[in-house]
Amino acid sequence: MTIEVVGIAVLWLFLYGYLIVASIDFGAGFFHFFNKVSSKNYQVDRLIQRYLSPVWEVTNVFLVFFFVGIIGFFPDTAYYFGTALLVPGSLSIVLIAIRGSYYAFNTYGARDSKVYSFLYGASGLLIPASFTTVLTISEGGYLSMTGDTVELMLGELLTSTYSWSVVFLAIVCVLYISAAFLTYYAYQAGDVPSYWLFRKYTLFWAGPTILASLLVFFAISGHNPDHFERLLEMSWMFVLSFLFYAGAVFLIYRRRYHGIAFLLVMLQFFAAWFGYGATHLPYLLYPHLTIYDGFVNETMAQALIIAFLAGFALLIPSLYLLMRLFLFDAEYIRGTKPK
């Protein structure tokens, strides 16, 4: 395994961490708004708020590590993606700012505002949709190279079947991952009405998740046949992902081992995420940029890998302590812990 592969694997690991943690956060924000406007049991709203309050501040740490790392390891990505992603990237930043302001104005200021809840819930679905632009563009066919100028072909992007299939997949995966976690969280809290509601949401979004995955496979076969061939060569990773998915849905349907069920959900996306990433190599941007183009010198790369692994080693125990002290504290999870 070359140092370039190790570098991109470390960054891919951080992006996977963001995929899981942010999906729970984004989906919880949407369910918070949906349950409020549909007049669901208010206890559900309180359960979601207890989850969101201690978690939202650490969600973007994984994303910051990834963006710093991708420029540190592969400086040429700034040239190819920087100008092209100016509009979707700016949109993502605005949406993240809206989510942050929700806590300032709703949690610490005005209370029970449907406007803030709508902005928070909508941004939770629009942020992953905007972020998927990077993965879509990386498949090639959406950038125009004229001399030293890189331009995003927005018309091609907005009318592409593959592009919209990835957006659809991102949204349904966010809702599925979040519902699966909140099912487990409600079960641990002994919140029976919330448990039944989120169990229903999980089983409902499980179907669209698989359908969206198949749609992406179908769309990429026409958009990038070379990548599709490599996907078929590593099909065992996606079969493994489906087996994890089937196990998770079965356990949730049978109302048993909810913690193991969510672990299977995480393994489902781990297998699919790294299967996709491995088959995308060596390209960062097909067919213009590979992981071997413009890679930093070996000494710098080794230092970055050590620093990022050390950061990951600190981040995971920090999340564990956060869960032990807040999320799964016996009094906090039931809403009885004094403030």
pLDDT class of 43 with cuts at 50, 70, 90: low
Q: Residue 271 pLDDT > 90, yes or no?
A: yes
Residue 201: predicted pLDDT: 92
Q: 123 lies in a domain?
A: yes
Q: Which domain holds residue 213?
A: 3-333
Q: 177 lies in a domain?
A: yes
Q: 160 lies in a domain?
A: yes
- Contact between residue 53 and residue 325 where contact means Cβ atoms under 8 Å apart: no
Domain count, the chain: 1
Residue 55: predicted pLDDT: 61
pTM: 0.87
- Mean pLDDT over all residues of the chain? 81
For residues 237 and 302, give the distance between their C-alpha atoms in angstroms, rounded to a whole number.
29
* Residues in a beta bridge with 56: none
- Mean predicted confidence (pLDDT) in 259-271: 94
pLDDT tens per residue, range 187-237: 887 778 888 988 999 999 999 999 999 999 999 988 889 999 999 999 999
pLDDT tens per residue, range 67-109: 788 888 888 787 777 766 777 777 777 887 777 676 666 555 5
Q: 339 lies in a domain?
A: no
For 34, phi then psi, to 5°, come to -60, -45
Q: 9 lies in a domain?
A: yes
Q: 65 lies in a domain?
A: yes
Q: 117 lies in a domain?
A: yes
pLDDT tens per residue, range 45-56: 666 666 555 566
Residue type for position 81: F
